């Protein structure tokens, strides 16, 4: 009986000592985790404040917020432009299109055998249906291209790569009309070019704005050549004033900066979930599959560096807020340098 009592007492003392050891270890872990908890709480509060500030301003936060309002098909100029894109041949080396462009500007479109004026006229005439569709689309005030805004940061804009060549076709038509003395017809082509460029203005991304600027640049270069070759009439100048006054470079650019901020937020959200959506999209373009999860995507590691990621996003959102504010100011190089 004494032996049993001794064993029980020994076990009890061991348990007591073990409990104190466990309590000590837990206490140390709590002390070590306290800075992490405080940092996480502060970072979470700061991030919530930044997102609430954006939401209160009415700016988009998620990529779903970026989608422009839908446009009925019968009112959508993008549908008409899409048909024109399908009819226009690719601009490849040695193609009739590239040779025609070399006739207009051999420095920008070098080729061994630029087309003659008659060949350019034949090329433009062969694609009169494309020009008709472009003019039809330009007469419609709204345009929404098919874009999957739910794709997040990897949203694609396949129509953007197809927008400049129709603009160049209009340039060729305008130059030919100018050579024939049809200044009014040439100015109408410039109007169509600028209207088509504005068809992507509702898309709140910088890549859409850059393509818009590129198309506007082609139109304004064409206009400069028209003014030199065949001075327009007073009526044409009044119409030109109306066309140019319609162009808004400020609001779409600000909207694009807000859109880029929302796309950046989507990147942080995907990163927090440990998704390799960017790798998946890039490899899909190359025809590859089996995208691995990125190294820091495991749940334990995501938990450890989550506060750092939140703080990083706070810094990003504050930086982008500054860029959005600058985009609303009149262009001034000194303002951007401050």
**Residue showing tokens 């989550």:** 306
CB count, 10 Å around CB of 253?
20
Q: How far apart are CA 226 and CA 185, in angstroms?
A: 11
pLDDT at 17: 56
pLDDT at 285: 46
pLDDT at 324: 93
Q: How far apart are CA 47 and CA 55, in angstroms?
A: 12
| Mean of all residue pLDDT scores within the chain | 82
pLDDT category at 33 given cuts 50, 70, 90 is low
pLDDT digits (tens, 9 = 90+) for 183-220: 889 999 999 999 999 999 999 999 999 999 999 999 99
pLDDT at 31 over 80: no
Q: How far apart are CA 38 and CA 41, in angstroms?
A: 5
pLDDT at 219: 95
pLDDT at 167 over 70: yes
pLDDT digits (tens, 9 = 90+) for 224-260: 988 888 777 888 888 888 888 888 888 999 999 999 9
pLDDT at 266 over 70: yes
pLDDT category at 6 given cuts 50, 70, 90 is low
Q: How far apart are CA 332 and CA 34, in angstroms?
A: 48
More confident residue, 2 or 206: 206
Boundaries of every domain in the chain: 64-88+127-247
Q: What is the 3-state secondary structure (H, E, C) of 244-261?
A: HHCCCCCHHHHHHHHHHH
pLDDT digits (tens, 9 = 90+) for 291-308: 445 555 556 666 677 888
pLDDT at 282: 47
CB count, 10 Å around CB of 239?
17
- For every residue of 257-288, DSSP letters joined together read HHHHHHHHHHHHHHHHHT--HHHHHHHHHTT-
Predicted TM-score (pTM) of this structure: 0.81
pLDDT at 131 over 60: yes
Q: What percent of the chain has pLDDT over 90?
A: 44
């Amino acid at each position: 009986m004494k032996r049993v009592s001794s064993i029980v007492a020994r076990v009890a003392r061991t348990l007591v000592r073990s409990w104190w050891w466990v309590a000590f270890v837990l206490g140390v872990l709590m002390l070590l985790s306290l800075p992490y908890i405080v940092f996480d709480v502060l970072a979470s509060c700061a991030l919530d404040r930044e997102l609430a500030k954006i939401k209160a301003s009415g700016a988009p936060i998620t990529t779903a917020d970026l989608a422009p309002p839908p446009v009925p098909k019968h009112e959508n100029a993008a549908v008409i432009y899409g048909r024109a894109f399908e009819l226009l041949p690719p601009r490849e080396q040695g193609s009739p299109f590239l040779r025609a462009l070399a006739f207009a500007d051999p420095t920008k479109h070098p080729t061994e055998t630029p087309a003659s004026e008659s060949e350019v006229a034949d090329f433009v005439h062969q694609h009169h249906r494309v020009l008709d569709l472009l003019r039809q689309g330009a007469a419609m005030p709204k345009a929404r291209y098919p874009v999957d805004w739910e794709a997040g940061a990897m949203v694609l804009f396949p129509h953007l790569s197809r927008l400049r060549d129709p603009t160049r076709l209009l340039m060729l038509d305008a130059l030919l009309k100018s050579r024939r003395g049809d200044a009014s017809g040439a100015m109408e082509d410039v109007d169509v070019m600028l209207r088509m460029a504005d068809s992507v203005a509702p898309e709140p991304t910088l890549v859409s704005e850059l393509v818009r600027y590129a198309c506007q640049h082609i139109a304004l270069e064409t206009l400069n050549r028209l003014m030199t070759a065949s001075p327009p009439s007073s009526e044409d100048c009044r119409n030109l004033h109306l066309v140019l006054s319609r162009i808004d470079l400020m609001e779409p650019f600000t909207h694009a900066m807000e859109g880029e901020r929302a796309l950046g937020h989507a990147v942080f959200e995907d990163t927090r979930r440990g998704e390799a959506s960017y790798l998946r999209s890039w490899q899909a373009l190359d025809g590859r599959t089996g995208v691995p999860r990125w190294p820091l995507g495991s749940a334990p590691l995501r938990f450890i560096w989550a506060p750092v990621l939140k703080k990083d996003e706070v810094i990003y959102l504050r930086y982008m807020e500054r860029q959005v504010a600058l985009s609303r100011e009149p262009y001034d190089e000194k303002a951007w340098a401050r």
